[in-house]
């Protein structure tokens, strides 16, 4: 992996120290990965990789911050509604 260096004002340090991680580098990597994921610039798997965490660990971090890690799309809602209707009809047919 290629790297680049960034210079930040010292004012960031107090906020960075509050982040999860053992080193400043780990803290910043996790924070950037979360930001990229929330901004839909990278996938969940890519964000986990960029943060240096396993997928499960990254999901746990997102959960601890109340950040949704799974999207529930309109298609999911329609599929669920269709399934509820089908099961309801099957149940009604059995009871007749």
Compute φ and ψ for 38, nearest 5 degrees: -60, -35
The mean predicted confidence, pLDDT, of the chain is 89
The sign of the dihedral angle between the CA atoms of 33, 37, 42, 47 is positive
Of residues 60 and 20, more confidence is placed in 60
Compute φ and ψ for 3, nearest 5 degrees: -125, 160
- Ordered DSSP codes for 22-82: SSHHHHHHHHHHHHHHHTTSS-HHHHHHHHTS-HHHHHHHHHHTT---S---HHHHHHHHH
Contacts of residue 45, Cβ cutoff 8 Å, sequence gap at least 6: 55
pLDDT at 74: 78
Q: Is residue 82 part of a domain?
A: no
Residue 43 belongs to what domain range?
A: 11-70
CB atoms within 10 A of CB 36: 16
Q: Is residue 28 part of a domain?
A: yes
Mean of the pLDDT values across residues 40-53? 95
Q: Render pLDDT for 57-83 as a digit per residue (tens, 0 to 9).
A: 999 999 999 999 887 777 878 888 889
pLDDT at 40: 92
Using only C-alpha atoms, the chain has a radius of gyration, in whole angstroms, of 21
Q: Is residue 18 part of a domain?
A: yes
Q: Is residue 23 part of a domain?
A: yes
Q: Is residue 40 part of a domain?
A: yes
Q: Is residue 93 part of a domain?
A: no
Q: Is residue 2 part of a domain?
A: no
pLDDT at 42: 95
Domain count across the chain: 1
């Amino acid at each position: 992996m290629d790297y680049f260096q960034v210079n930040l004002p010292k004012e960031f340090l107090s906020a960075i120290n509050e982040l999860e991680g053992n080193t400043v580098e780990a803290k910043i990597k996790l924070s950037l990965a979360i930001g990229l994921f929330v901004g839909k610039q990278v996938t969940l798997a890519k964000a986990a990789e960029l943060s240096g965490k396993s997928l499960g660990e990254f999901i746990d971090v997102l959960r601890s911050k109340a950040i949704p890690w799974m999207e529930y799309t309109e298609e999911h809602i329609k599929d669920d509604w269709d399934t509820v209707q089908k099961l309801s009809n099957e149940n009604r047919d059995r009871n007749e």
